[in-house]
Amino acid sequence: MANAPLAETLPQAGAAGGRKVVNEVSGWLRVLDDGTVDRTWTGPPEALPLMQPVPPYAAPRDGHTLHDLPGEPGFRVYLPEAGGGRLPVIVHLHGGGFCVSHPSWLMYHHFYSRLSCTVPAVVVSVELPLAPEHRLPAHVETGVAALRRLRSIALAENGGALDDPAAKLLREAADVSRVFLIGDSSGANLVHFVAARVSQHGAGTWAPLRVAGGIPIHPGFVRATRSRSELEVRSDSVFFTLDMLDMLDKFNAMALPVGATKEHPFTCPMGPQAPPLESVPLPPMLVAVGENDLVRDRNLEYCDALRAAGMDVEVLLSRGMSHAFYLNKFAVDMDPSTGERTQELIDAITSFVARN
């Protein structure tokens, strides 16, 4: 996995070639009339350091090593120094409204390196395609492909699968019979659909790989009508100081299949357009919800729907916290409340993995 630059280098609108902006999500991206996408960050400058790529390192730092494993799809692998046999695997599906973000960014690194060492577990962060160049279900297909690749590495299939030293280290450390899917925001949506796809195939198809649990954190679930939390909650997230509701709507419009509304199953798996949850095979789920998250009410609606369908679901409500609070390294380090809630989240994940 290359350390992706923050954005493509593209001329400004109206510059050489006469390219113009035809669609825009303020702060995050601009779509030009030739189909190219400029993801140069133009939002609050204090958020920019969180988006800087962290290079991999083979020498241990803070109890782990960090490896990039190029391929289809690319992996970023956190390996804790914890000894004593193979470790469970946490497969991370990053957020970003399906349209932006990269696993190498600092905001993911600071949390998932810490999580890897605490559980302890191998963390495999997946490089996902981005909309609008790649609309859903491309992200779901890539999540499933990531599990196929993980299984192939575990079985040392396809001849050259272990040619990369990082692949050998991953194979030696990973217990693929205990795989947990985790995702932030839109990545949490993917946890639901990737877990369901794997379960639909049957255990024999995937053996020895087994998805033992799903951990959607602040999933980006919405409906055509605004929920109470969307209308009343004021977000204090460094990423969403602009109009978050407008941003979510635009990201979804760029990512959902052409012609779909927010009631589409990818953004509303508990809605009337989605298969009945009773028919969806899901592993045990730990759903993390932010009390001050704009999508809090839809997150809780999803949890209630899982319970009503007889699913094994746990809910962690982070009091006083907004969307993806735990990814803001500076708040985690400097604000006691954010630090405490982040530790609670890590403790809940650690307990969930240990019990499943």
Q: Which residues are catalytic?
A: 185, 293
Q: Which residues contact 226 (CB under 8 A, 6 or more apart)?
A: 245
Residue 299 host element (H or E): helix 296-308
Distances in Å between the Cα of 283 and the Cα atoms of 62, 74, 77, 86, 131 are 32, 25, 23, 21, 28
Q: Name the E strands within the chain.
A: 21-25, 29-32, 37-38, 57-61, 64-69, 75-80, 87-93, 122-126, 174-184, 211-217, 285-290, 313-318
Distances in Å between the Cα of 341 and the Cα atoms of 94, 115, 138, 222, 248 are 20, 14, 33, 24, 25
Task: Give the length of the chain.
Answer: 356
Report residue 192 as tokens: 């639901």
